[in-house]
Structure 1
Amino acid sequence: MTAVSLTPAGPFSLAASVRFLAGFTPASYSGTADEVLRLAFPADDGHSTVAAAVRQEETADGEAGGVRAEFTVYPGVPDGDLDGSPADPVSAGAAGPGPLSAGEPSWPDAAVRAQLARILSLDVDGSGFPELAAADPVVAGLMAEFPGLRPVCFHSPYEAAVWAVIGHRIRMTQAAAIKARLAERYGRRVQVAGRTLHAFPTPPALRAINRIPGLTEVKIERLHALAEAADAGELDAARLRAMPADDALTALRTLPGIGPFSAELILIRGAGHPDVFPRHERRLHAAIATAYGLDETASGDIGRLAGIADGWRPYRSWIALLLRARAERIGRHVS
């Protein structure tokens, strides 16, 4: 097990991240009272799996402090019949491939640390984030309502793309159940801080699955294509973040099953881009119109909404996340 420190630049609350994940259907996350964030996911190398426990320290005056992550990297994929039988080395009586030892080539610890930072949006300097509140009362209200909340991203652009394909034209809860079943049957089973988690299958494992209950053959073919794209580096987070946003979105839309909405999801919530205005997310547009006291027709005026969002630079993705969180909270109270 390796321990690393992640030092937030600007406000950050891990407790707020845990609460957000518990209400985020694609994550299927079940929080605990100890406020430890437990994660299991395919590493950015496309073959290893990471199991991590993340905690936030408190300062002497009780304020949120630095973040500490303890993780283990598991090489390869679990054994098993990927066409029908679950890969479950624990119940089979074997431990399966263990953590990387000193004698094996390893996915560098620094790369895993970078991936964890990206997942929690700790790879972005947020020291200027509070300054947006001074110029915009709506933003000030959002920050007061959700103190320390930053976007909690999908583990990778690969997982975000997979979610987009699985969830196309079906209910979100149904898509989440399918994604969870894939993890339980074909992903690596790990122990993280006293709990059992199942990571989503790595790209090679996903490419070998030929039957997925609840998904059409077309969707399965698209998932295979996404796994191949991930192996080819087309879903590399650093590559996508380094490109001009419009170019990255154009490249993502060339992938099978990825349209404008999904491309934005992958770039913003998969690669963790902090400063993109989603132009194809109608629920967000409605939330902006409501927050800024605009009439209903304004939610369809993308140019006007984009102009409002220009005031959120360089954190447009972050403010959009807070607006979604508010809209979802209001929706839960209304229902």
Structure 2
Amino acid sequence: MTTIDQVTWLDVPVHGPFDLTASARFLEGFAPAARADAASRPGELRLAFPVAPSWRPVGVLVRQPFPNGPVRIAVRGEPSDVDKAVAAARRILSLDVDGTGFAAVAARDPVVGELLARYPGLRPVAFHSPYEAACFAVIAHRIRMTQAATIKRKLAIELGSTVDVHGVELPSFPSPAVLRAQPRVPMVSETKSDRLKAIAEAAEAGRLDAEELRSVPVAEALARLRTLPGIGDFSAELVLLRGAAHPDGFPEAETRLHEEMRRVYPVGTRAELREVADDWRPFRTWVSLLLRVQREERG
């Protein structure tokens, strides 16, 4: 277990509706996360992950006593990692985006209005980093998502660090250096092992930096990601929208989203889907997430 004595509490600004309990509930049911231990009670969420650029493990406790109220974050980690850990936690919970304009999207689109009423305060919850998202994408190739989530969690337990996050021990995914140093990454094929180590090398080189990926046009970011071994169209969107937590991208390769859109909108073609999504700007990722949640609830 990694023992880190330094704990820093910080107040985090929230702009627009946000419900941490809804985020934690989503995280518990989100197969890539598969983390029933992350939330111990309403208004509380625990996270453990390697934070860039040091890639040392940190533990993060997030608290929000009531929906739309103030948020406090406690970081257990090295002092030099605190700011990066807070930035990562804000990105993971989509708190780094001003959500006050989301209501305007709902006002001009009745479908979005219904979604906001059905899921008040729910914002996208991202992977801990684009690095972890890319690793999950490689692991999940040609196997079930739940199976991939199990493998990812076992890798965290076997190769990563265990961090005490306010009395709860959580496994942190292995750092890029640890993953890259493996003769062969356990529990995956040789091909996937080679790809995972290439992803780790790219992360160490800064090619999976969340801020950088979000600073360039979506098409350019996706093109960069597709140059990584094992990262195709669907995976590139996963890394950008769910890893870097880009708030305004339309998942072109996510067929289940498109099925739900065709159910609730009078559209059929890919061009019509894009036209509908254009009206969600600058929150296309957010609306897409709510539609996917709605579809999964319907079964």
* TM-score, scaled relative to structure 1: 0.84
Structure 2 counterpart of 1:66? 70
Q: How does 1:214-253 map to 2 (within 5 A)?
A: 214-253=187-226
Structure 2 counterpart of 1:150? 123
SS across alignment from 1:191: strand
Distance (Å, rounded) in 2 between the aligned partners of 1:248 and 1:292: 29
Shift of residue 174, structure 1, vs aligned partner: 1.1
Structure 2 counterpart of 1:188? 161
Equivalent AA in structure 2 for residue 18 of structure 1: A
Superposed CA RMSD in Å reads 1.3
Contact 1:46 1:203 in 2 (8 A): no
Kindly tell me: are residues 284 and 46 of structure 1, through their superposed partners in 2, closer, same or farther at Cα, counting changes over 3 Å?
A: farther
Distance (Å, rounded) in 1 between the aligned partners of 2:192 and 2:72: 38
Are 2:133 and 1:160 equivalent residues in the alignment? Answer: yes
**Which one of 8, 11, 17 corresponds to residue 23 of structure 2?**
17
Structure 2 counterpart of 1:96? none
* Percentage of identical aligned residues: 52
Contact 2:126 2:245 in 1 (8 A): yes
Are 2:58 and 1:43 equivalent residues in the alignment? Answer: no
Contact 2:21 2:42 in 1 (8 A): no
Deviations 1:55-99 (A, max 9, x none): 0134xxxx53111010111xxxxxxxxxxxxxxxxxxxxxxxxxx
Deviations 1:34-68 (A, max 9, x none): 4410100010214211101100134xxxx531110
Distance (Å, rounded) in 1 between the aligned partners of 2:184 and 2:239: 25
Kindly tell me: are residues 269 and 46 of structure 1, through their superposed partners in 2, closer, same or farther at Cα, counting changes over 3 Å?
A: farther
Deviations 1:175-232 (A, max 9, x none): 1111111000111111112211000001001111233443110000000000000000
Structure 1 counterpart of 2:4? none
Distance (Å, rounded) in 2 between the aligned partners of 1:212 and 1:129: 42
Q: Which runs of 5+ in 1 are unaligned?
A: 74-99
Q: Which has the larger radius of gyration?
A: 1
Shift of residue 256, structure 1, vs aligned partner: 0.4
Distance (Å, rounded) in 2 between the aligned partners of 1:35 and 1:24: 18
Q: How does 1:197-208 map to 2 (within 5 A)?
A: 197-208=170-181
Structure 2 counterpart of 1:29? 35
Give 4+ residue runs of structure 1 displaced > 6 Å after superposition.
none
Distance (Å, rounded) in 1 between the aligned partners of 2:193 and 2:181: 10
* Count of residue pairs brought into register by the alignment: 291
Equivalent AA in structure 2 for residue 5 of structure 1: D
Q: Which runs of 5+ in 2 are unaligned?
A: 1-6
Shift of residue 283, structure 1, vs aligned partner: 0.7
Q: How does 1:169-184 map to 2 (within 5 A)?
A: 169-184=142-157
Structure 2 counterpart of 1:84? none
